[in-house]
Structures are given as C-alpha cells and as structure tokens.
Amino acid sequence: MNIDIRQATAKDLADITSLFRDTVSTINTKHYNAKQITVWASGSDETETWLERISDLYFIVAEIDAVIVGFAYLKKGYYLDGLFVHKDYQRQGIASSLLRTIESQVIAEEFPEIRSDVSKTALPFFENKYYDIVKKQKKSFKGLVFENYIVKKIL
Ligand SMILES: CC(C)(COP(=O)(O)OP(=O)(O)OC[C@H]1O[C@@H](n2cnc3c(N)ncnc32)[C@H](O)[C@@H]1OP(=O)(O)O)[C@@H](O)C(=O)NCCC(=O)NCCS
C-alpha cells in the first residue's frame, strides 16, 4: 500500500473538511462526550478558516490511490496544529507518514523542537513517536472545556 504525501490545495477543501468531521464524530467519541464532539466536529463548516490554513500554513495531505486518507498542518513553523486520519484508514501508518514529513519540515526550517496540543485519543500515537508530555491541560473552546495534552519532541 503506497501512501503519497503532497501539499494541500484549495481543491482539497471538501475532502479535508468531511474527513475531519467524520473522524471527530467517530474516532474521538471514545474520549469526548456528545456535546464536545458536536462542537468540535462543527469546525468542519468554517470554510474560510480551512482555506486560510491551506493557503497560509504548511498543510499536507496523505493519499492512497488518489483518495485523501489523512492530513496535517504546521503553524509558526514548529507547532503541529492538526493531524487527522480518515476513520476507515486508522492504524495503517498514515499518521506516521504524515508526521515524518511534518518533522522533516520543522528540521528544514531549523527549529529545535516540535510542539502540539493533542487529544486524549491521539496521545498513545505521540507517545509511540517519543513525544514528551509538557502538561495536561483544560482548554476552553466555544464554551466547553476539552482536556488535552501539550507535547513536544526535540528534533
Ligand atoms: C491519532 C491518529 C492521528 C493516529 O493515526 P494512525 O494513522 O491510525 O496512526 P499510525 O497507524 O501511524 O500509528 C502508529 C503507531 O502509533 C500507536 N497508536 C496509534 N493509534 C493508537 C491508539 N489508538 N492506541 C494505542 N496506540 C496507538 C501505535 O503504536 C501505532 O503502531 P501500530 O498500529 O503498529 O501498533 C488517528 O487515530 C486519528 O485521526 N485520531 C483522531 C483525530 C485526533 O485526535 N487527532 C489529533 C488531534 S489533536
């Protein structure tokens, strides 16, 4: 199975936002309640924000046979702001592949470390990639509190 990584374009918008909505609405339900999932998934409707992320940030997608199966994007050159894998393609090495490309980009830009705020769902993945927990935090988002973790890795 070949995983291809490329930079996202505005044409990928619909695939990216539906993948985001579907993954949050299925995979993240193990760790967040129904209210939190509804609010989080509704972020898929913020078309302008997604278009800005695609055009302004380092934003990559993973494809298998030309189907988008994951995406990731970096803010400020060293902050991983999003990493999502298609609900039907979990545990197939797609996030590993995306993270390798993201970390290479951070190194290429000569930042000494990468950081992220990661969900409870994603924590085991980042621990598997040797990220350290900086702290567990409660983050307010649209009037709800989400527990997540700040993680980092020296590159
Ligand atoms: C977290 C996420 C991105 C991982 O994507 P993935 O493509 O399934 O991850 P990989 O297949 O590359 O996993 C690599 C290794 O990480 C570890 N890992 C990944 N998911 C794990 C899980 N749910 N539980 C335990 N270990 C896990 C495993 O060691 C895995 O290797 P293995 O499958 O050979 O055991 C994916 O589950 C996801 O999209 N989650 C929902 C969205 C989310 O919370 N994103 C983070 C936003 S902050």
Residues 115 and 98 sit within 8 Å (Cβ to Cβ): no
The helix or strand, by DSSP H or E, that contains position 83, with its residue range, turns out to be: strand 79-85
**Span from the CA of 56 to the centroid of ligand 1 (angstroms):** 26
Q: Which atom of ligand 1 is nearest to the CA of 116?
A: 48
* Four-CA torsion 15, 56, 119, 116, nearest 10 degrees: 150
Burial of 77 (0-12, 13-18, 19+ CB in 10 A): middle
* Least reliable range by pLDDT among 64-68, 70-74, 84-88, 138-142: 138-142
The pLDDT of residue 91 is 98
Q: What is the pLDDT of residue 39?
A: 96
CB 23 near ligand 1, within 6 Å? yes
Please give the average per-residue pLDDT across 32-60, as a whole number. 97
Give, using CA atoms, the residue closest to atom 22 of ligand 1. 124
On the question of pLDDT at 1 being above 90, the answer is no
Read off φ and ψ for residue 140, nearest 5 degrees.
-85, 135
CB-based contacts of 102: which residues, under 8 Å, 6+ apart?
Answer: 58, 60, 72, 74, 80, 83, 114
Q: What is the mean pLDDT of residues 111-140?
A: 97
4-112 carries CATH number 3.40.50.720:
no
- Does any ligand 1 atom lie closer than 6 A to the CB of residue 95? yes
What count of other Cβ atoms lies within 10 Å of the Cβ of residue 26?
14
With a cut of 90, say whether residue 100 has pLDDT above it. yes
Mean pLDDT score, 76-84: 97
Give the Å distance between the CA of 88 and the centre of ligand 1.
12
Percent of the chain residues topping a pLDDT of 70: 100
Q: Is 90's C-beta closer than 6 angstroms to any atom of ligand 1?
A: yes
92 close to ligand 1 (CB < 6 Angstrom)? yes
- For residue 148, the model assigns a pLDDT of 96
**Sign (positive or negative) of CA dihedral 34, 31, 44, 62:** negative
Residue 53: strand, helix, or coil? helix
The chain-wide mean pLDDT, for the chain, equals 97
Give the pLDDT mean for 118-144.
96
pLDDT (average), residues 88-103: 98
